Amino acid sequence: MGSVHARGLAANPDAELRWAVDLDLPRAEALTGEIGGRATASMEEALADPDVDAVLIALPTSLHRMATEAAARAGKHVFCEKPIARTAGDGEAMVRACAGAGVTLMIGHVVRFFPEYMRIKEIIDAGTLGRIATVRGSRLCSPVQERSPWFADVEKNGGVVLDLMIHELDTFCWLFGDVERLFAHGLSFDPIHTKRDYAVASLRFRNGVIAHLESSWAHTTFRTSVEIAGQYGLLRQSSDDATTLTLERTVALDDALTRPARVLARPHSVSSHEREVVHFVQCLKTGAPVGVSGEDGVRAIRLGNAVLDSMRTRRPVFFNEDGSVREP
């Protein structure tokens, strides 16, 4: 992800890539030799540069707090890859550090910047589907821990839940608000998780929406899908389809039966990872609030850890209105 974001920044006319920081210095040098900037193995060297306005953190999850606090102390704005941190407490500390230093913090929940999901939010907010009843979300890919073993360390980095399911946890809160209850099953605490990991969770939102989430490191290819059933129709997204978003209206707003209609949305040519960083840079230039705040990141990681807790205890998790966990 660091290389992906670095290339996006190098192509952004409103930004200049000054440094690429990597403990594997030859890898950083190869990258900067291709796209520009300077390479270093020292985060402190890059943060000491007075011409650096912001940093983009693409480290393992367990290192996010350390890097964000260092950047805040140096007076640099921060874009941090998701999840914000391993725990809600670490995420809250990151929010406090950036607020205290007067710098901006944005979390890289990139799904909000996918054209299909942006269109889904527009459709839901416009009331086109009426009241939402049920949602299904799926995010599947091959076992990443086979090429990057640190992913298999659930205690440090959260496994498949905090890497994949965190996307749906954030996106569905963006679409439907706060969660009231969740219950989950999975393999993250089974010895097999070092080779294959899988999780499924059921969420009840405070507005009555019921969501079913599936995340997997046991499939052969990466693919995503979402299905949203509402009062007036069904909205489907699938990365396997050439047309990746369809809306089927079966009932008109006045409840008169109509012929099903389809509204199609096709992906945009600009990558969503590039789009989110362009948004971050524009917010820094204009002073506008970022689309995914540190508080959003904390909410998502609190839910992600609740999923892990439910998997571990085999019990549901309930939430107070302020998002904290409560006893059933």
Are residues 148 and 130 part of one domain? yes
| pLDDT for 33 | 96
Instruction: Examine the pLDDT at 148 and tell me if it is beyond 90.
Output: no
Q: What is the DSSP letter of 165?
A: I
Per-residue b or e along 302-314, where b marks 16 or more CB atoms closer than 10 Å to that residue's CB: bbbbbbbebbeee
Using the 3D structure, point to which of 61, 94, 110 is the last residue of a domain.
110
Q: How many domains is the chain partitioned into structurally?
A: 2
Instruction: Examine the pLDDT at 296 and tell me if it is beyond 90.
Output: yes
232 within some domain = yes
**In Å, how far are 22, 49, 70, 71 from 44, measured between CA atoms?**
12, 9, 8, 9
Are residues 125 and 102 part of one domain? no
Say if CB 228 and CB 120 are below 8 A apart.
yes
| pLDDT for 256 | 44
Are residues 145 and 205 part of one domain? yes
Q: Which position has the token pair 């219950």? A: 183
Separation of first and last alpha carbons in the chain: 39
Are residues 165 and 313 part of one domain? yes
Are residues 104 and 155 part of one domain? no
**In which band, very low, low, confident or very high, does the pLDDT at 268 lie, cut at 50, 70 and 90?**
low
**In which band, very low, low, confident or very high, does the pLDDT at 209 lie, cut at 50, 70 and 90?**
very high
Average pLDDT of the chain is 92
Residue type, 300: A
Using the 3D structure, point to which of 95, 110, 125 is the last residue of a domain.
110
Residues 258-286, mean pLDDT to the nearest whole number: 76
**In which band, very low, low, confident or very high, does the pLDDT at 257 lie, cut at 50, 70 and 90?**
very low
Under DSSP, is residue 292 helix (H, G, I), strand (E, B) or coil?
coil
| pLDDT for 253 | 52
| pLDDT for 46 | 98
Are residues 30 and 131 part of one domain? no
156 within some domain = yes
Range of the domain at 103: 2-110
Instruction: Examine the pLDDT at 115 and tell me if it is beyond 70.
Output: yes
**CATH, residue 6:** 3.40.50.720
Contacts 24+ apart (CB under 8 A), 189-193: 189/154, 189/311, 189/312, 193/152, 193/154, 193/159, 193/160
| pLDDT for 250 | 67
| pLDDT for 249 | 74
Are residues 259 and 126 part of one domain? yes
Instruction: Examine the pLDDT at 260 and tell me if it is beyond 50.
Output: no
Are residues 103 and 127 part of one domain? no
List pLDDT tens digits, range 56-75.
999 999 999 999 999 999 99
Instruction: Examine the pLDDT at 269 and tell me if it is beyond 80.
Output: no
284 within some domain = no
Q: Which two tokens stand for residue 230?
A: 């509402």
Under DSSP, is residue 251 helix (H, G, I), strand (E, B) or coil?
strand
**In Å, how far are 71, 94, 250, 293 from 102, measured between CA atoms?**
12, 12, 50, 14
Using the 3D structure, point to which of 110, 143, 173 is the last residue of a domain.
110
Outline where the chain has alpha helix (H).
2-10, 25-35, 43-47, 64-73, 88-101, 115-125, 154-157, 159-160, 166-176, 272-286, 294-313
